[in-house]
Structure 1
């Protein structure tokens, strides 16, 4: 089979991405269900419990993004380490984070969309937490799109820059 037919030429990575897109579709389905069936707020869950659940969902997504971001940090550390023993162990860790960077990011993006919907469904508030969260979501959407272009070797540096901006906006959001 000609590898040029696929956006992702590595077959194992392509399979991981396809599975993670399936999990993302599951989260999208849950989100669509919530949008279409919870408009009256007289549902089976209280607003307070929904808010707490939304916060927990956001934490889970933050762990996923933390893992994805760790790929960059590990690569930087490997370049600066002189000990061969430590470097070998870090290279194994770098390979694992590289293999799972995209699938975990896709799943975390689906989770963060659920988090955003739950939190926004309570209403929009003009405070730093909401503004930084919406800004982080916008930057993340650009980040995901730039990640797709990375497979064609377009915008590799832009992907890294948007990643750094996302980290900063996410930290502001988490700390407020």
Structure 2
């Protein structure tokens, strides 16, 4: 049952971001529209990766054996894609940032709260990627927790950044 709630929350987040970006933040510039589209794609990819934590949580906490088996098989497949998804999403978000720094920043100022939150999100994302790289090279309990904490911090900062108006 909790997994249905989590799927619903993810779906609601995606729908809210689509509504917010495309209906409340429309732009005339094709470059800015491209940046908005890139942010949507990256958000979905980051959500896929962040949700791996919750898949593992359900595996640990569930008392239903069939659920554990099904999720374990699913997680084996998904973990092979975790790093490529992270690299792809980071590349996409870098394109989003570059377009916005070129097109929007000169208009609203480089110290605008929206941009500052984007800088913070990129810094926390860099920390998350570094933690993930270290974990990939040599896994330990500390490295696993550090990667998890930085990933959740990134999600929080990115979520705040997404809904800060320009």
Q: Same fold (TM over 0.5)?
A: yes
- Tell me whether 1:138 sits opposite 2:123 in the alignment: yes
Q: Distance in 2 between matches of 1:59 and 1:130?
A: 17
Residue 170 of structure 1 aligns with which residue?
Answer: 158
Q: Distance in 1 between matches of 2:37 and 2:69?
A: 36
Contact 1:67 1:97 in 2 (8 A): no
Q: How does the TM-score come out when normalised to structure 2?
A: 0.72
SS in 1 for 2:63: coil
Q: Which runs of 5+ in 2 are unaligned?
A: 1-26
- Tell me whether 1:84 sits opposite 2:65 in the alignment: yes
Residue 74 of structure 1 aligns with which residue?
Answer: 55
Q: Distance in 2 between matches of 1:91 and 1:153?
A: 19
Q: Distance in 2 between matches of 1:169 and 1:96?
A: 28
Structural mapping, 1:98-117, within 5 Å: 98-117=79-98
Residue 88 of structure 1 and its aligned partner are, at CA, apart by 1.7
Q: Distance in 2 between matches of 1:57 and 1:152?
A: 32
* Count of residues paired in the alignment: 131
Q: Distance in 1 between matches of 2:138 and 2:60?
A: 25
> What's the CA shift string for 1:95-118, capped at 9, x where partnerless?
122111111101111111101000
Structural mapping, 1:1-176, within 5 Å: 48-122=29-103, 123=105, 124-150=109-135, 151-153=137-139, 155-176=143-164
Q: Which runs of 5+ in 1 are unaligned?
A: 1-45
Q: Which has the higher contact order (CA 8 A, sep 6+)?
A: 1
Residue 137 of structure 1 and its aligned partner are, at CA, apart by 0.7
Residue 12 of structure 2 aligns with which residue?
Answer: none
Residue 125 of structure 1 and its aligned partner are, at CA, apart by 4.6
